[in-house]
Structure 1
Amino acid sequence: MWPLIMHFLRTNAPYFTLPVAAVVGVIGYNLEGWLSDRYTPYTKPVQDQRLERLTDDLTLSDPTNVQKLKYKENVLGKNVSPSLQSN
């Protein structure tokens, strides 16, 4: 009897898989809705944040005070292994 049932399920697997997946999906969706917090805090748009940073920047107030675009630290010493660091 079991071989006949397994043969029937094997040949008709696509017809059983979709409804089972739909039921599992509906149950999971509803559980997530009941258990999770859907509140997302408001944040300003990225363009507005950038505009505020640019207007708050003190270096833009004086166009004659321009720093050179030069890296001031040793590039090779940035990620040094602890065994290679000199104390």
Structure 2
Amino acid sequence: MWPLVMNVLRAYAPYITLPAAAVIGFVGYNIEKHFRTPPPNRPSIEEQRNERLLKELLEAKEAAPAPLSEKTFVPKTIFEKNLSPSLAKEE
């Protein structure tokens, strides 16, 4: 009798295991959903960046733009055109 049962299980394994796995997965998902606590709400990266930039603007030494007669936005040489702010020399 057991060899017959084993042959049937071997022949119809995909038809037996797929529904069993689906039922086990569905039950496990719902149990986990029931006991899980929601994650804390954190501000998004974009919101954090905007707040940081706003804070830096408010704390900056020069809140007003430089007058156009000074032309501080024009580089003296081509090498200063795309200079990183961290590499710029304070004058």
**TM > 0.5 between the two?**
yes
* 2:11 is equivalent to residue 11 of structure 1: yes
Cα deviation 1:49-84 (Å, max 9, x = unaligned): 1111122237x6136xxx854xxxxxxxxxxxxxxx
Question: Distance between the aligned counterparts of 2:86 and 2:24, measured in 1?
Answer: 61
**Structure 1 residues 68 and 7: alpha-carbon distance in aligned structure 2, compared to 1, 3 A threshold:** closer
C-alpha separation in 2, matches of 1:9 and 1:68: 69
Match of 2:41 in 1: 42
Structure 1: segments with no counterpart, 5+ residues? 70-87
Query: How many residues in Structure 1 have an aligned counterpart in Structure 2?
Result: 66
Q: TM-score, normalised by structure 2?
A: 0.58
What's the Cα RMSD here? 2.5
Q: Which amino acid aligns with 2:36?
A: S
Gaps of 5+ in 2: 63-84
Q: Distance in 2 between matches of 1:51 and 1:9?
A: 61
Which secondary structure does the structure 1 equivalent of 2:15 belong to?
A: helix
Identity %: 45
Moved more, 15-24 or 47-56: 47-56
